């Protein structure tokens, strides 16, 4: 357990006005290539929010994520991925590659993954920085059955965060909730947020940014960035729904 509550530490750090170095690391989802189709990734949205809307112009936001990486690879390259930047806050979203049952030999066990997260939290704290764990988003299991353990690995991140007193951003829960009420056939699938079986599209990155901003206490009501992101997610969730929408004075069916 952290000697001082990390949420309190972060709030005090932000209130102090001191420049903050944010390091955000992980796998391809954080790397943010290709699947946004030229739009900003969630890290870039946070950059605009922090250094733009919040006026924290001396803050630095660094993305060190690498496509295809897993928790142990980040630990093996911890100095370059994290320590070299002398961070104040470090976020980690990982697990989508760790959980595969096909592409790794040997397969990573959930217990091993948990131990890697515990070590990551410990190393970040040893730097004097605040660790933030993010669960990986949900996956379209019809097209990526090898990621069937994604929920188990998301739970591992939750459990480690609880045990270690680390901040948690539950992206997996947010993506799961997104599917609720979006229309027949979408149950259990974050329709509108994915570009392929497990990479968020531009709207998915908007959701990731909103959840991270909320969890870190950066969700200012007057933020133009967040207002735009909320609108993107709303449209992604209901582009053709509900069926009782009114058009020319008559109830319209989904288009």
**202-217 residue pLDDT tens:** 998 999 999 999 999 9
Residue 198: the pLDDT is: 73
State yes or no: pLDDT of 34 exceeds 60: yes
pLDDT > 70 in the chain, percent = 85
Q: Give the integer Cα–Cα distance in Å for 221 and 118.
A: 34
Residue 42: the pLDDT is: 93
- pLDDT class of 250 with cuts at 50, 70, 90: very low
**Under 8 Å CB-to-CB from 198, ≥6 apart: which residues?**
29, 96, 137, 139, 140, 144, 147, 150
Q: Is the pTM of this model over 0.85?
A: yes
Lowest-confidence range among 45-59, 96-110, 176-190, 226-240?
176-190
The CA-based diameter of the chain, rounded to the nearest angstrom, is 63
State yes or no: pLDDT of 255 exceeds 50: no
Residue 103: the pLDDT is: 82
Residue 60: the pLDDT is: 98
State yes or no: pLDDT of 185 exceeds 70: no
Residue 254: the pLDDT is: 35
Residue 210: the pLDDT is: 96
Residue 3: the pLDDT is: 45
State yes or no: pLDDT of 195 exceeds 80: no
SS (H, E, C) the chain: CCCCCHHHHHHHHHHHCCCCEEEEEECHHHHCCCCCCCCCCHHHHHHHHHHHHCCCCCCEEEECCCCCCCHHHHHHCHHHHCHHHCCCEEEEECCCCCCCCCCCCCCCCHHHHHHHHHHHHHHHHHCCCEEEEECCCCCCCCCCHHHCCHHHHHHHHHHHHHHHCCEEECHHHHHHHHCCCCCCCCCCCCCCCECCCCCECHHHHHHHHHHHHHHCCCCCCCCHHHHHHHHHHHHHHCCCCCCCCEECCEECCCC
Residue 182: the pLDDT is: 64
Residue 241: the pLDDT is: 47
Question: Higher confidence at residue 183 or residue 14?
Answer: 14
Residue 184: the pLDDT is: 61
Q: Contact at 8 Å (CB) between 11 and 79?
A: no
Q: Give the integer Cα–Cα distance in Å for 156 and 163.
A: 10
State yes or no: pLDDT of 242 exceeds 60: no
Tally of residues, the chain: 255
State yes or no: pLDDT of 244 exceeds 60: no
Q: pLDDT tens digits for 115-158?
A: 999 999 999 999 999 999 999 998 887 788 888 999 999 999 99
Q: Give the integer Cα–Cα distance in Å for 162 and 135.
A: 13
Other CB atoms within 10 Å distance of the CB of residue 170: 18
Question: Higher confidence at residue 103 or residue 136?
Answer: 136
Average pLDDT in the chain: 87
């Amino acid at each position: 357990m952290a000697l001082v509550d990390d949420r309190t530490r972060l709030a005090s750090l932000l209130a102090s006005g001191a420049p903050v170095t944010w390091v955000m690391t992980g796998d391809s989802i954080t790397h943010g290539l290709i699947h946004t189709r030229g739009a900003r990734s969630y890290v870039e949205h946070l950059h605009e929010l922090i250094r733009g809307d919040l006026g924290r112009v001396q803050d630095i936001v660094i993305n060190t994520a690498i496509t295809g990486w897993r928790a142990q690879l980040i630990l093996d390259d911890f100095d370059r991925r994290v320590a070299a930047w002398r961070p104040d806050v470090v976020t980690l979203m990982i697990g989508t590659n760790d959980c595969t049952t096909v592409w790794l030999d040997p397969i990573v066990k959930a217990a091993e993954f948990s131990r890697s997260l515990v070590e990551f939290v410990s190393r970040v704290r040893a730097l004097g920085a605040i660790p933030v764990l993010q669960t990986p988003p949900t996956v379209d299991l019809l097209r990526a059955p090898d990621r069937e353990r994604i929920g188990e690995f998301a739970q591992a991140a939750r459990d480690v965060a609880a045990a270690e007193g680390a901040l948690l951003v539950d992206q997996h829960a947010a993506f799961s909730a997104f599917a609720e009420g979006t229309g027949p056939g979408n149950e259990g699938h974050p329709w509108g947020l994915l570009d392929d079986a497990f990479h968020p599209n531009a709207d998915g990155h908007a959701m990731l940014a909103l959840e991270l901003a909320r969890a870190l206490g950066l969700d200012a009501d007057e933020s133009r960035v967040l207002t735009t992101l909320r609108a993107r997610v709303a449209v992604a969730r209901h582009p053709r729904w509900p069926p009782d929408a009114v058009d020319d004075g008559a109830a319209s069916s989904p288009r």
